[in-house]
Structure formats: C-alpha cells, structure tokens
Structure 1
Amino acid sequence: MSRRPVFLVTGSDLAPQALALLGDYEMVFAGKTPTEDGIVELCRRHDPVAIIVRYSKVGAAAMDAAPSLKVISKHGSGTDTIDKAAAKARGIQVVAAAGANAAAVAEQALALLLACAKSVVALDRRMHAGHWDKATHKSVELEGRTIGVIGLGAIGLRFARVADAMGLRVLGFDPYATNLPAYVMPAALETIWRESDAISLHCPLTADNAKLLNATTLAACKPGVIVVNTARGGLIDEDALLAAIRSGQVASAGLDSFAVEPMTAPHPFHGESRITLSPHIGGVTADAYVKMGLAAAQNALAVLNG
C-alpha cells in the first residue's frame, strides 16, 4: 500500500487543475465504467481517505472496505448515487460540487426545450432525406407561454432566468427554495401540471419524488405539454411518459437522463420521433469538467483539513 494517503476517483480521469491540488495524495482511478463491486475491491486494496464520485454507486460495502475513509465528494451536484445514510452512520461526510455545472446543464435544458418546440431533429432528418416542409410545418412559439420549473437550485434558477428572458411565464416549485427572484412565480405542483405548456425538471432524486411524472400527473397536465429532464431519470415513469407521447398528451420530450444508465439497446424510446435523447451529458463541457473537478477536490480537502 502507498505511504501517501489515497484519493479514489470513480472514473478514469480528473481535471489537471484538480490533480494539482491533490499532489500530497496518491491518486487511484477506477476506469471509464466502474462497477460497485470494482469500487469495493479498490477500497479494500487502497483504503482511501477520500472518494471522488464520477460514475457508478458508492454504498455501504465500499465504505466498510475503507476504514480510513473520511469524505465522499461528488464530481457534480447530485448525490443520489451515494448511500448517504450509510455514510452518516459511519461518520463519513458527503459533499457535492453544487453549482459547478449549473451553466452547462441549464444550457442543455434550453437546447432540449428548443429542439422540442422547433422540431430541430425531425426537420434535420427530413432535410437530409431531401424534403422541404416549409408549407406544412408549424413550430411552437415559446414567447407568452408558461413553463413549470421543478427544482430551483443553481441550475433551475439559471434556466428560469433564460426562460424569462425569452418571454416565458415561469412557474417554480421547490419546497426548500427561499428568496426567489421576481421572474419566478412560486406555484404548487397541481398548478404547474394545470397551467404549464412545458415542464423542466431540475430537482434531486429522492424517495419522495421518484416517478414524480407518472400516469396520474401527466394526465393532469395540459394536453400537448413539452417535458424536459436534465436532472435524474428516476423522476419520470418512463412507461407512462411513452404512453403519453403516443397518445399526444405529451407533445414531445427532451431527455438527458434515464432510469437505467447507460441506456441499453433496444430501448422503448428508440425510434420515437418526438423524443429527443442525449446521453446524460448536460454537465459535460470542457469548462464544467474543470469547475466540477476543482470543486470536488476542494470540498474533499476542506473536510480532510478540518
């Protein structure tokens, strides 16, 4: 075992700027597609003092395999892949890089919203196939319409600000948010379902909000609603969404996260022209990679250094 204390990264890399902060530590990388069992084995072999979580889950077994572990630091904002109850029981702190990827994810949500409203992907396919649909196509104009933003942390508020600048009326739901800006009108979920022309999810996944968008809540929405999810796939009942897309209750959906990742082929969403897909890359930009790496390293060091 290395004489220097170990940082385990559940991925294959970390921004050079972050690595520069961690020169006093031995760095161990779990690879591009780490498994839970693989992470447990690395913990057993290296006994890290800190884990930076990029991919896969970190549960009680990994924590028990690393008696020196003091902190688990998320390379991003969502900590649902970390067993926080197990960490608390063992006196291990869990920290997150909140806000580090806010610009990147908010921009992806906007891209998916616009792709849905303007039929960007479908029209591109038609054009490449030699068609000219100017006389028959009508896009959705977003100005003057209502968007429901669920989750008003750094990402949700940034997205809401852009939506407001585009002339959308913004309804927002977040039981933990205070001092909301004037451009967000606080609303109950029932109001969001009833009044929104589009809904964008920006909340963490918890036991309480799993499958928040389901057959019942989708049926309560305005017919022809647009759904955007750049948060967590578990917030949506995927079977119910697919049924709502096929019935026309949901006009289109732009999705960057899924119940099971990576998405396996074949998947029920494949081939659905009104669902625009991206592989959970909302927070994956060159800038966010550096910002999240730095924040993850700094947060872990803050715990280790007391």
Structure 2
Amino acid sequence: MTTSSQKPVLLVTAADLAPQALDMLKEFEVVFAGKQPTEEDLTALCAKHKPTAIIVRYGKVTARMMDAAEKLKVISKHGSGTDTIDKAAASERGIAVRAAVGANAAAVSEHAWALILACAKSIPHLDQRMRAGHWDKATHKSFELDGRTLGLVGLGAIGRRVAAVGIAFGMNVIAYDPFAKEAPEGIKLASLDEVYAAADVLSLHCPLTEDNRNMVNAQTLARLKTGAILVNTARGGLIDEAALIDALASGKLRSAAVDSFAVEPMAHPHPFQNVPNLILTPHSGGVSDAAYVKMGQGAAANVLAVIEENARNAA
C-alpha cells in the first residue's frame, strides 16, 4: 500500500484493525503489514513509509525497525503485553511505548477458565473417546475444583477476574504478585514458593521479563503437588517447554493447557503435539469479538494521546 496524502503514517503490524479503531485514526494514513509480517517486512515498511506511529499486533518491533522509521513517536500494543517491543531501544530513541492494559482482560480470563475446566474435566480426551465409540462413565473420574486451591501468578486485571471465578467455584485462592499491596476479599497474597506448594491448579497471569523467563522449570515443577494442573494464558517464555513435557509424561502434572509458546507461531512438528494430556490453543485467549474492538480502540487512544502530548510540549 502506498500513501496517497500528506497525512502522518500509522503502521499496523497485521492485516486489519477494528473499524471502530480506524474511525479514531482518520488523521493518519494507515498502512497494514499483512497477516504474519516478518522483521524484514516490517523494516522495509518502516523505511518506505516513515511511520509516526506503530500499532503492534503480530511480530516484534526491533531497534532496526525504529532506526528505519526516523519519524516514529509512539509504539502502541494491541493488547497488554509489551515483551515483543524492544523497550530499551525505544527509550534510547525517545519513542513512547504504550499498552492497551485491561482491554482483553475479560476474554483472557474466560479463556483461562475454559482451559482449566477442560483440564479438570478431561473434555478433549472424553470427546475423542466418545467419537471412537467408548463409554467411559464406569472408569473415568474428573478433578473436582470445589475446596481445591487455585494458585495465581499475577493479580492484575486478568488475574483478579480468574480469582473471582475460582471463589465462585468454592476454591481457596492464593496469589503471588510482587506489585500487589492488597488483594480483593477472598484472595490471599502469598510468596511464589507458597503458591507453587499449595496450588492444585496453577494459572499464570504475569508479563514476561528477563527475571521470570522459564520461571516454570524442572525445579519449580518439582515443588508442585503431584497431580496438579498448570494453565498458561500469559507468555510462552514463562515455561521451560521440555520440562513441562517431562512433568506431564511422569504424572507430576495431571494435565496442562498452554495458549502461548516460546516461539510463535508454534513450530510444526513440535514435541507438544505428541503429549496427550496437554491442551493447545494458538495464543487466541485475548482474541474475542469484543476484545478485538476494545484492544483496537485502546491502542488507537494511546497513539492519539502521545501525539497530542508531543504537540502540546512542542507548542
């Protein structure tokens, strides 16, 4: 796509954006990068169009891209996680980085519970058995959540929604969040070690940082109860994937479900595809009909706020 006006350019690292968000961005010439843009694709588009703003849906935003876009003022994430943006490089270049925090909280928390329940009730396994002509009522026992402990890592907008449902199910809810000074009624704040030791269901809801990369590994998995359930709707880099496979194979974990992966899209073939007690979804937890609109609007609003702030400061 080539620009047809003197409007500032906004690059979207995807093939689409919600119409409601586009309505907010009429002062920009919007350039779409396509469904799965590579770093080469994005760098070339930055060099060609010199965007003032980037809305990040897919792919990474690197220092190389920033250097190719000399006019770049703001990088706005279509969602809450900014680990795909080189924030240090952006800071060095005076480029603002913003996230649409909370815009997909309902969608991700619902997806987390869909995965928890699918694991606890063996839904995929029983469905496959039924389709193969089996009737396992006499031999199958599901995992009852009432009275069990739900351990959360992260108590932001998503974690709190997940906690509220756990409380409604009659679960004991404990959470680790180094930034939380207090918790809503019914949630006990605990150390990370206490969460690992107590959780019957461990659900991850924290951002990925260099400090917590591979935080779920062979050593931490060993601290979990035998037969626990692990669900990750946060970031793939939080889990040592080989260690997760070992824990599922040994029976240390009853089951697990992951919605994000160390490398995305997930490679094919991948060892995860051969693990029967592992449920996989394609980082789609935050992609609901409503969240698509809310994330787009949030990303657009952040772009406009930064541009307006820059204009005021320059006046």
Tell me the equivalent position of 1:104: 107
Match of 1:209 among 209, 212, 236: 212
Query: Cα RMSD between the aligned structures?
Result: 0.7
Match of 1:64 among 29, 48, 67: 67
Q: Distance in 1 between matches of 2:295 and 2:50?
A: 24
Post-superposition, which runs of at least 4 consecutive aligned residues in structure 1 deviate over 4 A? none
Q: Distance in 1 between matches of 2:62 and 2:299?
A: 18
Tell me the equivalent position of 2:301: 298
The SS at the match of 2:98 is strand
Q: Could you list the per-position Cα deviations for residues 255-282 of structure 1 after superposition, in whole angstroms to 9, with x for gaps in the alignment?
A: 1111111111111111311001101100
Tell me the equivalent position of 2:253: 250
The question of 1:130 aligning with 2:133 is answered: yes
Tell me the equivalent position of 1:31: 34
2:182/2:189 contact within 8 Å kept: no
Tell me the equivalent position of 2:119: 116
Q: Distance in 2 between matches of 1:56 and 1:297?
A: 18
- How far residue 193 of structure 1 moved from its aligned partner, in angstroms, is 1.2
List gaps (5 residues or longer) in structure 2.
310-315
Q: Which amino acid counterpart does residue 191 of structure 2 have in structure 1?
A: A
Q: Distance in 2 between matches of 1:71 and 1:264?
A: 31
Tell me the equivalent position of 2:201: 198
The SS at the match of 1:305 is helix
The SS at the match of 2:274 is coil
Q: Distance in 2 between matches of 1:179 and 1:144?
A: 23
Q: Distance in 1 between matches of 2:136 and 2:274?
A: 21
The SS at the match of 2:273 is coil
Q: Distance in 2 between matches of 1:97 and 1:178?
A: 23
- How far residue 178 of structure 1 moved from its aligned partner, in angstroms, is 2.6
- Among the aligned pairs, what percent are the same residue? 61
Q: Distance in 2 between matches of 1:276 and 1:73?
A: 31
The SS at the match of 2:54 is strand
Q: Distance in 2 between matches of 1:85 and 1:271?
A: 38
How many residues get paired? 306
Q: Distance in 1 between matches of 2:200 and 2:243?
A: 18
- TM-score with structure 2 length normalisation? 0.96
Q: Distance in 1 between matches of 2:206 and 2:29?
A: 34
The question of 1:94 aligning with 2:92 is answered: no
Tell me the equivalent position of 1:51: 54
The SS at the match of 2:163 is helix
Match of 1:139 among 130, 142, 148: 142
Q: Distance in 2 between matches of 1:153 and 1:248?
A: 31
Q: Distance in 1 between matches of 2:274 and 2:69?
A: 44
Q: Could you list the per-position Cα deviations for residues 81-133 of structure 1 after superposition, in whole angstroms to 9, with x for gaps in the alignment?
A: 00000000111000000000000000000000000000000000000111100
